[in-house]
Amino acid sequence: MACALSGGPDSTALVALAVRAGCEVTAHHVDHRLRPDSGDDARVARHLAAALGVPLVSHTVEVGAGPNLEARARDVRRAVLPGQVMTGHTADDQAETVLLRLLRGAGSTGLSAMEPGHRHPILGLRRAETRALCDHLGLTTAIDPTNTEPRFLRNRVRAELLPLLDRLAGRDMVPLLTRTADLARDDSQLLDELASTLDPTDARAVATAPRPLARRAVRRWLTVDGYPPDAATVDRVLGVAEGRVVACEVGAGRRVERSRQRLRVVECAG
């Protein structure tokens, strides 16, 4: 098993539980060099890996300045980690992801958030539980100060929005939000299965199909490297299929055109 080990309590608990389960574990630490003291986290990760008796592979990446820092850091991290690496995301992370997707107007696919399973084996645990496990094992973990910086929307969801929702609902919202993700995932998987029978290059079939299936078929068709088109792009393609326009831009220097009731993706000139 390859496990991401940031040095924080969640990823440390993941590695500790994997070792306890008898798995052969290799931990992977990524230093994004986004803080002058990021090397401290790497040292903590080395100490934790040694304490847990697992080898550690260290990766150093350059993210660079610019917008969408979190997304770019995630991309470079994915590029260096093994494809099936396990992460220490918890139920609290899942609840935050549902709210972030909701704020961005996501449909059922987005609200499905992270899928439980091999990649996210401790998604049913709470952060309080991972911290308690590390304390029980006597493991000193790292504290990433960027996790409290309000410039990142996720941090504000964690520190402001979720506590507010808890107070308004009079209960812990994390289990409710994770249940929403589970229900949305079930619906999304069913729609994906139905949409897989629809040929997205057949303009007549797309135009006459139920709108939710047509959207799914087009989204699957235009997904590149795991990145699906946004809702506005999908709606433009549906307009081409329905004959309202003859072509539309779909991003990344591509466009969708209709000819003889067939849709095709072409590279934009220039």
> Which residues contact residue 201 at a Cβ distance below 8 angstroms, ignoring those fewer than 6 apart?
221, 262, 263, 264
Query: Of the given ranges (33-47, 76-90, 166-180), which has the lowest mean pLDDT?
Result: 33-47
pLDDT of residue 70: 78
Q: What is the average pLDDT across 239-268? A: 93
Residues 19 and 130 in one domain: yes
Residues 144 and 202 in one domain: no
Q: What is the average pLDDT across 23-51? A: 90
* Confidence tier at 166 by pLDDT (50, 70, 90): very high
Residues 111 and 38 in one domain: yes
Nearest to 1 by CA among 52, 54, 45: 54
Report, in angstroms and rounded to the nearest whole number, the Rg of the chain calculated over CA atoms.
22
State the total domains in the chain: 2
pLDDT higher than 90, residue 143: no
67 belongs to a structural domain = yes
Q: Can you give the three-state secondary structure of the chain, one letter per residue?
A: CEEECCCCHHHHHHHHHHHHCCCCCEEEEEECCCCCCHHHHHHHHHHHHHHHCCCEEEEECCCCCCCCHHHHHHHHHHHHCCCCCECCCCHHHHHHHHHHHHHCCCCHHHHCCCCCECCECCCCCCHHHHHHHHHHHCCCCCCCHHHHCCCCHHHHHHHHHHHHHHHHHCCCCHHHHHHHHHHHHHHHHHHHHHHCCCCCCEHHHHHHCCHHHHHHHHHHHHCECCECCCHHHHHHHHHHHCCCCCEEEEECCEEEEEECCEEEEEECCC
Question: What digits encode the pLDDT tens for the residues 145-163?
Answer: 888 889 889 999 999 999 9
Residues 132 and 23 in one domain: yes
pLDDT higher than 90, residue 18: yes
165 belongs to a structural domain = no
232 belongs to a structural domain = yes
Q: Are 139 and 51 in contact (CB under 8 A)?
A: yes
* Confidence tier at 216 by pLDDT (50, 70, 90): very high
54 belongs to a structural domain = yes
For strand 262-267 and strand 254-259, is the pairing parallel, antiparallel, or unpaired? Answer: antiparallel
pLDDT higher than 80, residue 241: yes
Question: What digits encode the pLDDT tens for the residues 115-139?
Answer: 999 999 999 999 999 999 999 999 9
Residues 143 and 203 in one domain: no
213 belongs to a structural domain = yes
* Confidence tier at 65 by pLDDT (50, 70, 90): low
pLDDT higher than 90, residue 34: no
Helix axes 9-20 and 127-137, enclosed angle (nearest 10): 70
Residues 26 and 97 in one domain: yes
Nearest to 238 by CA among 259, 260, 211: 211
Domain housing 46: 2-148
For strand 56-60 and strand 26-31, is the pairing parallel, antiparallel, or unpaired? Answer: parallel
Residues 35 and 105 in one domain: yes
Residues 54 and 144 in one domain: yes
* Mean confidence (pLDDT) of the chain: 93
* Confidence tier at 270 by pLDDT (50, 70, 90): low
pLDDT higher than 90, residue 67: no
26 belongs to a structural domain = yes
Percent of the chain with pLDDT over 90: 79
102 belongs to a structural domain = yes
pLDDT higher than 80, residue 226: no
Angle of CA points 176, 110, 71, to nearest 5°: 110
- The predicted model scores a pTM of 0.89
Q: Which residues pair with 202 in a beta bridge?
A: 262
**CATH number of 51's domain:** 3.40.50.620
Q: What is the average pLDDT across 25-29? A: 97
Percent of the chain with pLDDT over 70: 98
Angle of CA points 90, 91, 94, to nearest 5°: 95
